[in-house]
Amino acid sequence: MNARREILLAVIILALIVGVGIRAPAFVALSSLLGVLTDTSFLFMLALAQMAVLLTRGIDLSVAANLALTGMVVALVNHAAPGVPIAAIVVLAIAFGAALGLVNGALIAGLGIPPIVVTLGTLAVYRGMIFIIAHGAWLTSKDMSAAFLSVPKAEFLGFSSLVWIAAAVALAFWIYLNHTLAGRALYAVGGNPVAARYCGIDLGRQQLTVYTLAGAVSGLCGYLWVSRYGIAYSDIALGYELTVIAACVIGGVSIAGGVGSVSGALLGALFLGVIVNALPVINVSPFWQMAISGAVILAAVIVNSRTERRGGKLILPEARRSAAAVPGVARS
């Protein structure tokens, strides 16, 4: 079922691209499509991070604030000490973001405060801290060193470095979620917390890991965002956390936990990315973007719920027989 849904989504995305391309052939030019891909990199990485959190039946509303604060921090560092090598800046961004995420994880795992409440609080705190540490100032590209700004501009084999970085993050998540015990434990914890406990899986440790991880990814994106757009202030990526959740939902990640895949997150992010980039090209005012996003989210949620089996319990023998005739399940 999940595979079928994802194929459907992929087909819809392709249809969208083709449809837009018919109206505006420039859209399907290679450079344009690469641009869409680059643009979507942020959303994709953040969706991966949010997915890991959603798997455990949690939610992280502070990802965008984390991104913005970390971005400001590294921009300030770079402004004060332009000689610091970019590798160190990147490491700092990841570490700082991880620390912010760890705060979430500690409050959630350690004190048992519901994730939505904790991240609502840290969302406000982190955003506010941007203003405080910069004394309300904005940093623009002229305040940043050339090296700092160079990373997103770099290209390799025709693809922007952002795309490569996103691919690397995706690969890391894919290995984590599909080939490590810790990653599979996330699915267990979200799917059936009681059964997971019986298997010796500790919810608290999983939560700590996953929120720290989300923070690390947010931090990395923070640096990349600030250097790509050449600006750092308190309102960057304002409200983006909801876009990230939207991408996850469209990509089939369940808000109730236990369900989600890297390919789903990719498709969800691509979907929104294509729409955002397609609208100006076909002369639809960008003001339509929100409305369309909203409609798409609703459609995705409705479709998701339809594919789950409804109906009463199977007690009558004839009902059980007809339900057991499912392909791929051998008769036992």
Residue closer to another protein, measured from CB, 82 or 128: 128
User: Which of positions 185-224 make contact with another protein (CB under 8 A)?
Assistant: 185, 187-188, 191-192, 194-201
Please give the Cα distance from 317 to 259 (Å, whole number): 31
Q: How do strand 155-156 and strand 139-140 relate by DSSP bridges?
A: unpaired
Please give the Cα distance from 266 to 284 (Å, whole number): 25
18 contacts another protein (rule: CB under 8 A) = no
62, 241 Cβ separation under 8 angstroms: yes
- In angstroms, give the least distance from the CB of 282 to another protein: 15
Q: Is 147 buried (19+), middle (13-18) or exposed (0-12) by CB count in 10 A?
A: middle
Stretch touching another protein by CB under 8 A, among 34-42, 77-85, 151-159, 317-325:
317-325
Residue closer to another protein, measured from CB, 85 or 328: 328
User: Which of positions 239-298 make contact with another protein (CB under 8 A)?
Assistant: 239, 242, 245-246, 249, 255-256, 258-259, 285, 287-295, 297-298
SS3 201: coil
Place of tokens 């250097």: 227
Within 8 A by CB and 6+ apart from 120, the residues are 61
User: Which of positions 155-184 make contact with another protein (CB under 8 A)?
Assistant: 175, 178-181, 184
Please give the Cα distance from 211 to 208 (Å, whole number): 6
User: Which of positions 99-118 make contact with another protein (CB under 8 A)?
Assistant: 107, 111-114, 116-118
From the list 7, 8, 282, 323, which residue makes contact with another protein (rule: CB under 8 A)? 323
- In angstroms, give the least distance from the CB of 47 to another protein: 14
Please give the Cα distance from 197 to 108 (Å, whole number): 17
Residue closer to another protein, measured from CB, 153 or 321: 321
Residue closer to another protein, measured from CB, 150 or 305: 305
Residue closer to another protein, measured from CB, 90 or 292: 292
